[in-house]
Structure 1
């Protein structure tokens, strides 16, 4: 059967137009805008070294994902970031003993299985094998958790309508470069909703800043090569200031009269000075003279309730990997548990966490009172807890640095 020249191409155009007409007007405009936006990135991609063939292949038919969180969509209310567990759960829910115990058991097995590789990583970067194992365990359950999103689609969408467009514009182009250089196949570049990818969850820019070809096969593969992924995590910590031979934190028992509002990174004292003020290392632990001389900050994740910690510089290095105190506690404690089965010496208290909007209201009031100068984000982190403590002292309330209904009512009355 003969074919009319150009018939198939004309039919495809007509069908495409019909499909476009069937879409809601806003969706047609948004997707057309997205396609134009992606195409406009070619000069920047070329400047970054992305081959034209890679750019065309990866962006062909690329569609936005408007179901992602943290977007600013025209005509719709802003979509907030998802309620990350490390910010809305109480510590006992996030640092679950059952989860820690399960991961620690697997970490012990992997420590033996990859002993030579981990020893070489520790020798080169100064980061303990247990710490990089703990990051791997927390990020992807030692590779058993499959990241749910298409990284390229996530990064392109966030660059187009996300809250941090400029950052994601760069990340999208770096993702194209990674694929163009053959580090990972397009289909294997899975990510979180925020675009972090690989066994230890790196953004594409972090891949270029910290990635290591540790297995020596000529490419950096943080998706399939355990040596590359763990060495890259170790190099990221080293590049951000990891101090060889220093613990991440010391669990201590706080004195009864502790001023919990001192629990901020800006207040550091030698560990020996904290000990002289009545803080006692748990389980009779004895610290060397060098350890007592190390500067540390106070951390009380539940305010005056639950465990207390003296956190070293390495604590804040891990925090640059994920800006959450509970994340660092999880990783640090899991690293310890791979070598020692003992849980925290002080149990978590049965505290409840206020809703994010209530914590946000607290932050707004504390800002008006001049006690808080950080982000209004509904997350009860170090700075928020310290500001609450300062307010409790000024208002004659019980000093516990914990966001509660009683403090919320008091602030509302102001």
Structure 2
């Protein structure tokens, strides 16, 4: 019995010691965070933030170390966030059931907001279907409730995020939003700090947000006209070309070369058509359309649909740097306007794990075939470099990363 009591006392003492150490570490972390927050005051003051607003914003604020994309000193590196745009295959991300549901709802909303959408296209130059599709993808037409306190997210990312410098500026701009009268309760965000119905970082709020409903306030959190017009202004600010499409689905010829599918490889759409890339369904293009410079996009390599992508494709991609995101938004916009499903089905191919794509990118970099960042995301440049590797090694050229090709690289 005495041994049991002694053992129990030892366990209790050990537990108390562990809790004390954890509390000490937490206190040190909070102290460091508090010092960081205070260091942001001069920048906030320069932006017109008053001390009472600053103090109210940071009062009781603690870092959220559960967020992805952080670099926390003394802790093992956390895996990169598994954004669906980068870890799902096209067939998983571009589901027909999602397009059916969102297109039906989008058509209802296009009637409800007909006059607003007409004004957006006339005054800003972006079709209403496109901004509706962005709203759908970002927050499911407002049905998705953003889970985080934006101030806490931005402060944490500014403190220990992988992109501290960027987020420090965004944190200050969020404080400015509070100073300018945006309620703290409105600043709900994603893990990356994006706010509102169409997901704006604070800096983009100040660049592009607009009062489009005429009530004297800029409200991208509850006002649909404000949010949609602001998204349209962001697209035009990044180069949206009025009256041009986002992409054209085509059927690639048997002798097509998927390794030339890079943003830098551009030809007039008419030249692509001459080379056998035929629009599907067939349609007659205007002389202006045939003259549009476009790149070749094959999201699954030679499997699945192919697309010719003019400038507006890359403008949407600037909104979210993912080919699947652009395909979702662009195709949903078409579906809201009455178009049918992709003419060529997706192949339901397997997706390599992020670490395996990274290993492939490193090998392609060593060979001088890939010159972009190592991020584990099989985008246009990775697929094109893979196609060049396959050509150089007598493999089947399909521009799709597989375990078999990675094994060949490792040999």
Normalising by structure 1, we get a TM-score of 0.93
> In structure 2, what is the equivalent of residue 123 of structure 1?
122
Residues 268, 297 of structure 1: 8 Å contact kept: yes
Mapped pair 1:223 → 2:213? no
Q: Distance in 2 between matches of 1:391 and 1:193?
A: 37
What are the equivalent positions in structure 2 for 1:46-57 lying under 5 Å apart? 46-57=45-56
Q: Distance in 2 between matches of 1:240 and 1:47?
A: 27
What are the equivalent positions in structure 2 for 1:355-366 lying under 5 Å apart? 355-366=353-364
**Partner of 2:137: helix, strand, or coil?**
helix
What are the equivalent positions in structure 2 for 1:319-338 lying under 5 Å apart? 319-338=317-336
Tell which deviates more after alignment, 232-241 or 282-291: 282-291
RMSD value, Cα: 1.1
Q: Distance in 2 between matches of 1:97 and 1:412?
A: 37
> In structure 2, what is the equivalent of residue 260 of structure 1?
258
> In structure 2, what is the equivalent of residue 296 of structure 1?
294
How far off is 1:65 after superposition?
Answer: 0.3
Deviant stretches of 4+, over 4 Å: 20-23
Q: Distance in 2 between matches of 1:389 and 1:368?
A: 15
Residues 90, 348 of structure 2: 8 Å contact kept: no
How far off is 1:23 after superposition?
Answer: 4.6
Mapped pair 1:154 → 2:153? yes
Deviations 1:310-335 (A, max 9, x none): 00100000000000000000000000
Tell which deviates more after alignment, 286-295 or 383-392: 286-295
What are the equivalent positions in structure 2 for 1:183-202 lying under 5 Å apart? 184-202=182-200
**Partner of 1:283: helix, strand, or coil?**
coil
Residues 393, 399 of structure 1: 8 Å contact kept: yes
Q: Distance in 2 between matches of 1:50 and 1:314?
A: 37
**Partner of 1:310: helix, strand, or coil?**
strand
Residues 71, 80 of structure 1: 8 Å contact kept: no
Residues 295, 312 of structure 1: 8 Å contact kept: yes
> In structure 2, what is the equivalent of residue 177 of structure 1?
176
Q: Distance in 2 between matches of 1:279 and 1:252?
A: 6
What are the equivalent positions in structure 2 for 1:276-315 lying under 5 Å apart? 276-315=274-313
**Partner of 1:303: helix, strand, or coil?**
strand
**Partner of 1:236: helix, strand, or coil?**
helix
Mapped pair 1:102 → 2:101? yes
Q: Distance in 1 between matches of 2:77 and 2:208?
A: 33
Residues 70, 78 of structure 1: 8 Å contact kept: no
Deviations 1:388-410 (A, max 9, x none): 00000000000000001111111
**Partner of 1:246: helix, strand, or coil?**
coil
**Partner of 2:281: helix, strand, or coil?**
helix
How far off is 1:385 after superposition?
Answer: 0.1
How far off is 1:261 after superposition?
Answer: 0.5
Q: Distance in 2 between matches of 1:397 and 1:341?
A: 37
Mapped pair 1:166 → 2:165? yes
How far off is 1:70 after superposition?
Answer: 0.7
**Partner of 2:301: helix, strand, or coil?**
strand
**Partner of 2:375: helix, strand, or coil?**
coil
Of 248, 251, 254 in structure 2, the residue corresponding to residue 250 of structure 1 is: 248
Q: Distance in 1 between matches of 2:108 and 2:242?
A: 24
> In structure 1, what is the equivalent of residue 404 of structure 2?
406
Q: Distance in 1 between matches of 2:236 and 2:361?
A: 34
Equivalent residues, number: 393
Normalising by structure 2, we get a TM-score of 0.94
> In structure 1, what is the equivalent of residue 134 of structure 2?
135
Residues 110, 128 of structure 2: 8 Å contact kept: yes
How far off is 1:188 after superposition?
Answer: 2.1
Residues 251, 278 of structure 2: 8 Å contact kept: yes
**Partner of 2:199: helix, strand, or coil?**
coil
**Partner of 1:58: helix, strand, or coil?**
helix
Q: Distance in 1 between matches of 2:154 and 2:59?
A: 15
How far off is 1:36 after superposition?
Answer: 1.3
How far off is 1:252 after superposition?
Answer: 0.4
